[in-house]
Amino acid sequence: MLALLFLRVPGHYRDRIFPEDVATAEGLMLTLAGIGGFIVPVFFGIIVGNVGFTGAWIFAGIISIVFALIGFAAREPLNVSTTVPTEKANVPANQSADAIL
């Protein structure tokens, strides 16, 4: 099911992702996911050994909230305009910009 998500996401960003770059982006993402799947349990075990099971889950919750806030802060604004602005600075007062274009 997760593989379907990896195949579907590039379709939403066709105007920003070149088709030849999709495989590289997916490879990088899956590499980081694989490394994270190996390292996170090791660090979780180290934290459990030092502060206990409850403290490790509290730490994991705090880290999750911090990264969620970073993700929300770094996302693209929703009101991005895709239209090209027309230049109206050189238009005489008695003529509209549409008449010149």
3-state secondary structure 6-75: HHHHHHHCCCCCCHHHHHHHHHHHHHHHHHHHHHHHHHHHHHHHHHCHHHHHHHHHHHHHHHHHHHHHHC
Our count of domains for the chain comes to 1
Q: For the whole model, what pTM was predicted?
A: 0.52
Identify whether the C-beta of residue 94 lies closer than 8 Å to the C-beta of residue 85: no
Residue 36 lies inside a defined structural domain of this protein: yes
Domain span at 26: 2-73
Token duo for residue 5: 């998500």
What is the reported pLDDT for 3? 60
Over residues 44-54, the mean pLDDT reads 93
Residue 84 lies inside a defined structural domain of this protein: no
Residue 26 lies inside a defined structural domain of this protein: yes
pLDDT of 63 above 70: yes
Residue 17 lies inside a defined structural domain of this protein: yes
pLDDT of 39 above 70: yes
Residue 85 lies inside a defined structural domain of this protein: no
